[in-house]
């Protein structure tokens, strides 16, 4: 049997692999078929009917689902098809809340673009507008059902990719709505705040809980010392909001923009990532030497931590007690930094710029206030930072490159790679040999843990001690691995888990790319290139060689894993119900 079939699309002979769809075959021939609900590898259900084509059957078929076959004749652009698509789109628009000018997705809305592409000038149908309450009780995510087009992308990514299933379609017909179980607020569900639902939504039905107003308010308060820290993945994606190609590193311009916004100091979260490696690496070594609870599982990803609290409470003791770099840095800023600078920690307002919506939930956790004040006061997503830059009238593309502020701005290549899946593991494996022997051993570039494969493994041996490590990303993949750990079928000593597929570079707070881009470009891989390029450009690439981190231990924390470190840099976790009783 041939691996390819030959079909005709709009009079063009096309060869396509067996098992592929008409949509894929048309794309390979340069023939564009409009879509709305379709998102490659996430949502391929033919629900919106925008991609209908004529294949000679009694009715039009959805190209995203219809398989190619030998001799198939397809028409994609007849007058009847164009009119049917337009009618379908107008019916969708007739019940859609059309507040486009004030919508968070204005000018980046797939429905808006589709209306333009299909030349919709008027809506011939008068539909009944939805009138559902907006769910804004979550610390991280706002749901506006009135803007929902029922594409089900959010349902699919939450249920099938992340295996959280915090939302689902309920009711039937015109009453169909995407909702949480029992119509509970999202905050009362097992939602982990990862925000993957936001970045796949084609419209403005999902967005992050905005912190912009509170940050502006803090910046205008002369009694506050307002500092900002930026996660490594932000520099790899912020440029997309200003027209740069995907994967462009804009570190220097990002720092310059933050200084123009009025922050007293601009710091690099990578510094705290190096500190995290010192604490987490020490914790791993101590657990191995003292027959402690293994495998040790990373705790940097707040979406993953909450997922574990809901679904694997029996494995919470396996989680590293280290705070995430965001909160570890916040604790440092309100203790060591406050003391060094002679500033009352009550007057220090810490803002984080993160690629992650779950960080908004994390900074609200009451256990993350070891100085008596919240480690972090407010979290902005990458998108929110871009909004503030635009609102301030800053010409981002013409900014000069500037450096992070001293004394807290020094970071290593190990810190920057925290932004990609496998990065925490690679950073740890660069330093664990030193923590075991006091000597630098092994390769700096541990490429076996890089990439977007479902499961990556590595093994190192130092002084006769073997450390077998595993890396997973995306909560569905984490579930598969954790089930094996729970069943005693995994013999790892160290596991890295990141909630978002691809890691932080693909976080729920990153710039939103439409399906037309996501279907063709692997955002995870392109943004990761910027991360690894920065790592390779840095002189120091091992966390334990960071002079700022060494100075902090010498002057304040004494040693990794010490009493003061545990008080300020470590935390605990909470077993959570999956659903409250109703």
What's the pLDDT tens digit per position in 181-211?
999 999 999 999 999 999 999 999 999 999 9
* Same domain, residue pair 332 and 363: yes
Question: Any bridge partners for residue 226, and if so which?
Answer: 349
582: pLDDT strictly greater than 60: no
Burial of 30 (0-12, 13-18, 19+ CB in 10 A): exposed
577 within some domain: no
Classify burial at 131, counting beta carbons within 10 Å of its beta carbon; exposed 0-12, middle 13-18, buried 19 or more.
Answer: exposed
Please name which of 495, 511, 550, 561 lies closest in space to residue 300, comparing C-alpha atoms. 495
Q: Which of 77, 106, 125 is the last residue of a domain?
A: 77
User: Does residue 104 register a pLDDT over 90?
Assistant: yes
Interval 61-96: pLDDT, tens:
999 999 999 999 999 999 999 999 999 999 999 999
Confidence of residue 408 (pLDDT cuts 50, 70, 90): confident
CA distance 454 to 184: 33
Statement: residue 505 has pLDDT above 60: yes
DSSP 390: H
Choose one of 185, 208, 231: the last residue of a domain: 208
Q: Name the least confident of 181-185, 372-376, 380-384.
A: 181-185
Provide the number of structural domains found in the chain. 3
Say yes or no: 426 and 540 in one domain: yes
What is the C-alpha end-to-end distance of the chain, expressed in Å? 56
Residue 341 · residue 226 · CB < 8 Å:
no
| 180 plus 301 within the same structural domain | no
For residue 1, is pLDDT > 80? no
pLDDT in tens, 506-526: 999 999 999 999 999 999 999
The confidence band for 2, taking pLDDT boundaries of 50, 70 and 90, is low
Q: Which residue has the tokens 């021939």?
A: 29
Residue 581 resides in a domain: no
Catalytic residue list: 280, 283, 300, 320, 359, 362, 367, 504
- Burial string for 414-430 (b: 16+ CB within 10 Å, else e) reads bbbbbbbbbbbbbbbbb
Q: Both 39 and 119 in a single domain?
A: no
Q: Which residue has the tokens 């030959």?
A: 6
Q: What does the alpha-carbon distance between residue 91 and residue 119 come to, in Å, rounded to a whole number?
A: 15
Q: Residue 306 pLDDT > 50, yes or no?
A: yes
220, part of any domain = yes
**Do residues 209 and 141 make contact, with C-beta atoms less than 8 angstroms apart?**
yes
**186 and 238 inside one domain:** no
Does residue 287 sit in the same domain as residue 404? yes
Strands (E) across 217-323 are located at: 225-230, 265-268, 296-297
pLDDT tens by residue, 530-572 = 999 999 999 999 999 999 999 999 999 999 999 999 999 999 9
293 lies in some domain: yes
Residue 363 has a pLDDT of 96
Q: Residue 565: CB partners within 8 Å, gap ≥ 6? A: 279, 557, 558, 559
Which residues form the domain of 425? Answer: 212-569
**Whether residue 198 is found in the same domain as residue 257:** no
Please count the other Cβ atoms lying within 10 Å of the Cβ belonging to residue 10. 15
Q: Which of 17, 49, 77 is the last residue of a domain?
A: 77
Q: How many CA atoms lie within 13 A of 391 on its CB side?
A: 12
Do 229 and 185 fall within a single domain?
Answer: no
Q: Is residue 490 part of a domain?
A: yes
Would you give the DSSP letter of residue 168?
Answer: E
Residue 464 backbone zone (phi > 0: left; psi -120 to 50: alpha; other: beta): left
179 and 328 share one domain: no
> Can you state the angle between helices 269-289 and 423-437, rounded to 10 degrees?
60
Task: Name residue 169's beta-bridge partners.
Answer: 178
pLDDT at 174: 87
Clarify whether residues 251 and 144 are in a common domain.
Answer: no
Q: Which residues contact 572 (CB under 8 A, 6 or more apart)?
A: 321, 367
Position 581 scores a pLDDT of: 42
**pLDDT tens digits, residue range 217-256?**
999 999 999 999 999 999 999 999 999 999 999 999 999 9
Separation CA 16–CA 378 (nearest Å): 51
Are residues 223 and 201 part of one domain? Answer: no
pLDDT: which is higher, 1 or 446: 446
Domain CATH number, residue 140: 3.30.70.20
Give the C-alpha separation, 315 to 575, whole Å: 10
| 26 lies in some domain | yes
CATH number at residue 31: 3.10.20.740
Q: Quote the pLDDT of residue 579.
A: 58
In a domain, 576, yes or no: no
Examine residue 84 and state whether it is found in any structural domain, yes or no. no
Regarding whether 51 and 102 lie in a shared domain, the answer is no
Cα–Cα distance, 6 to 19 (Å, whole number): 12
Q: Are 198 and 158 in contact (CB under 8 A)?
A: no
């Amino acid at each position: 049997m041939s691996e390819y079939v030959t079909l005709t699309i709009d009079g063009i002979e096309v060869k396509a692999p067996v098992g592929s769809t008409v949509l894929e075959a048309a794309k390979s021939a340069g023939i564009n078929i409009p879509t709305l609900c379709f998102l490659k590898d996430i949502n391929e259900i033919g629900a919106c009917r925008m991609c209908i084509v004529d294949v000679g059957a009694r009715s039009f078929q959805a190209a995203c689902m219809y398989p190619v076959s030998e001799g198939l004749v397809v028409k994609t652009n007849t007058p009847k098809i164009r009119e049917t698509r337009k009618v379908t789109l107008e019916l969708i628009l007739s019940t859609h809340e059309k507040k486009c000018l004030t919508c968070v997705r204005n000018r980046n809305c797939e429905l808006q673009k589709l209306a333009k592409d299909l030349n919709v000038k008027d809506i011939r149908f008068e539909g009944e507008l939805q009138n559902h309450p907006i769910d804004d009780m979550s610390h991280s995510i706002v749901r506006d059902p009135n803007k929902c087009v029922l594409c089900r992308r959010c349902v699919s990514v939450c249920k099938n990719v992340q295996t959280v299933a915090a939302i689902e379609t309920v009711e039937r017909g015109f009453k169909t709505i995407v909702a949480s179980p029992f119509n509970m607020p999202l905050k009362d569900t097992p939602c982990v705040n990862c925000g993957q639902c936001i970045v796949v939504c084609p419209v403005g039905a999902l967005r992050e809980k905005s912190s912009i107003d509170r940050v502006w308010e803090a910046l205008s308060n002369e009694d506050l010392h307002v500092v900002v820290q930026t996660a490594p993945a932000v520099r790899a994606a912020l440029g997309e909001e200003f027209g740069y190609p995907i994967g462009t590193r804009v570190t220097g311009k990002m720092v310059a923009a933050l200084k123009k916004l009025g922050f007293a100091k601009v710091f690099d979260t990578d510094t705290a990532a190096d500190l995290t490696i010192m604490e987490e690496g020490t914790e791993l070594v101590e657990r191995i030497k003292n027959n402690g609870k293994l495998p040790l599982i990373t705790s940097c990803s707040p979406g993953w931590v909450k997922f574990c609290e809901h679904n694997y409470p029996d494995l919470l003791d396996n989680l590293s007690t280290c705070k995430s770099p965001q909160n570890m840095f916040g604790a440092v800023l309100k203790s060591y930094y406050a003391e060094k600078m002679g500033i009352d920690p009550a007057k220090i307002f810490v803002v984080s710029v993160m690629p992650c919506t779950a960080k908004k939930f994390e900074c609200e956790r009451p256990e993350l206030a070891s100085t008596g004040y919240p480690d972090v006061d407010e979290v902005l997503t990458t998108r929110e930072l871009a909004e503030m830059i635009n609102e301030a009238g800053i010409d981002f593309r013409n900014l000069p490159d500037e450096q992070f502020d001293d004394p807290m701005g020094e970071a290593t290549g190990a810190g920057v790679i925290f932004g990609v899946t496998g990065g925490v593991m690679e950073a740890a494996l660069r330093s664990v040999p030193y923590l075991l022997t006091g000597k630098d051993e092994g390769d700096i570039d541990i490429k076996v843990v890089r990439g977007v494969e479902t499961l990556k493994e590595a093994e190192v041996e130092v002084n006769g001690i073997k450390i077998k490590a595993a890396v997973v990303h995306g909560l569905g993949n984490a579930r598969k691995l954790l089930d094996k750990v729970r069943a005693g079928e995994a013999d790892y000593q160290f596991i890295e888990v990141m909630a978002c597929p691809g890691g932080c570079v693909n976080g729920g707070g990153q710039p939103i790319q439409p399906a037309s881009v996501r279907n063709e470009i692997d955002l995870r891989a392109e943004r990761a290139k910027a991360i690894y390029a920065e790592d390779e450009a840095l002189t120091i690439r091992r966390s334990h060689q960071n002079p700022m981190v060494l100075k902090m231990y010498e002057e304040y924390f004494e040693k990794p894993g010490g009493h003061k470190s545990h008080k300020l840099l470590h935390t605990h976790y909470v077993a959570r119900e999956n659903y409250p009783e109703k």
